[in-house]
Amino acid sequence: MKNNAAIVRSLSFTFTVFPLGQPGVKMFAARGDASELRGWYAPAPGMKIPASVLKLDWESPSLPWVGGYLVIPGTEVNFHAEETDPDSGTVTFCLGERKFRLSARPSSTPPETAHEI
């Protein structure tokens, strides 16, 4: 975990997870048979391989609550969270030189679509 982001690595891929929404998020990572989180991958019956788990926990969020996470390939990511508006259900963030608004409310486009503004 670094600068309110989680760096996730596998044998072939690295990406960064950024929490979106209200501040106060705590991140917890575990692998296999950890006390709080258990992570396993079962490629076939009877096989059990330890897997990593990432938990994001917002402490005492105010309602209405808007939040989520953004997964970006790589680790050198220029990301900055801007504004969270629970009343409109939107989160605004900058990625590089571009600014986006992500809406969690129904519209003419899917809610998981971030629109560049």
Which tens digits make up the pLDDT trace of 26-64? 888 888 776 677 888 899 999 988 888 888 888 888 888
Domain ranges of the chain: 6-116
Contact yes or no for 1/27 (Cβ under 8 A): yes
Contact yes or no for 93/104 (Cβ under 8 A): no
pLDDT score of 115: 63
Mean pLDDT confidence for 77-85: 86
Q: Measuring CA to CA, which residue among 8, 26, 28 is closest to residue 17?
A: 8
Assigned token pair, 96: 């590089």
Q: Does the pLDDT value for residue 106 go beyond 80?
A: no
pLDDT score of 82: 87
Q: Does the pLDDT value for residue 66 go beyond 70?
A: yes
Contact yes or no for 33/50 (Cβ under 8 A): yes
Mean pLDDT confidence for 75-98: 86
